């Protein structure tokens, strides 16, 4: 699903990690050079399919939807928590955001790099962002350069 659409439902952190491990095993077994990208939508995703994962429990509110999903506190803290959990199993960490935000990007990068120095990061510089609504022209002009300095080496 496009990261800029609503209605995101997260899977438990351990399920995402298991998929990363399975992808690495398959690539290594087949001898296929692979770059594993772990994406988190926890900045905006406020639902999770299960509350079983200890990594997710601090963010679960205790509420459930009629569909059976668990409500979570989305945002930077959960995005960092998931990024840190994915980092040992992925080559690159991507935190999807709903708008261009250097302060958010910096906080995420610093938290990941504090435990995983030099970990490659990705940032979606989407044309669907309303850039001028969120940033002035000077910030837009330097946005990608500043992302690069923070460790976001894959920008798209």
Host H or E run for residue 39: strand 37-40
Give yes or no: 60 in active site.
no
Between CA 44 and CA 79 the distance in angstroms is 9
For tokens 């087949």, the residue is 30
Q: What number of residues does the chain have?
A: 156
Of 2, 60, 95, 125, which one is the catalytic site residue? 2
Region of 36 on the Ramachandran plot (φ > 0 left; ψ -120 to 50 alpha; else beta): beta
Strands 37-40 and 92-95: parallel
- End-to-end Cα distance, the chain: 17
Catalytic residues: 2
């Amino acid at each position: 699903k496009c990261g800029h659409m609503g209605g995101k439902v997260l899977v438990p952190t351990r399920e995402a990690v298991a998929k990363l491990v399975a992808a690495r095993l398959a690539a290594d077994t087949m001898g296929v050079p692979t770059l594993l990208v772990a994406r988190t939508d926890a900045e905006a995703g406020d639902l999770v399919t299960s509350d079983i994962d200890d990594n997710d429990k601090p963010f679960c509110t205790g509420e459930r939807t009629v569909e059976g999903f668990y409500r979570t506190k989305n945002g930077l803290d959960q995005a960092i928590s998931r990024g840190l959990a994915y980092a040992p199993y992925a080559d690159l960490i991507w935190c999807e955001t709903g708008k261009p935000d250097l302060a958010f990007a910096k906080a995420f990068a610093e938290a990941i790099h504090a435990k995983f120095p030099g970990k490659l990061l990705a940032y979606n510089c989407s044309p669907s962002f309303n850039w001028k609504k969120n940033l002035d022209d000077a910030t837009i002009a330097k946005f990608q350069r500043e992302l690069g300095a923070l460790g976001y080496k894959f920008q798209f």
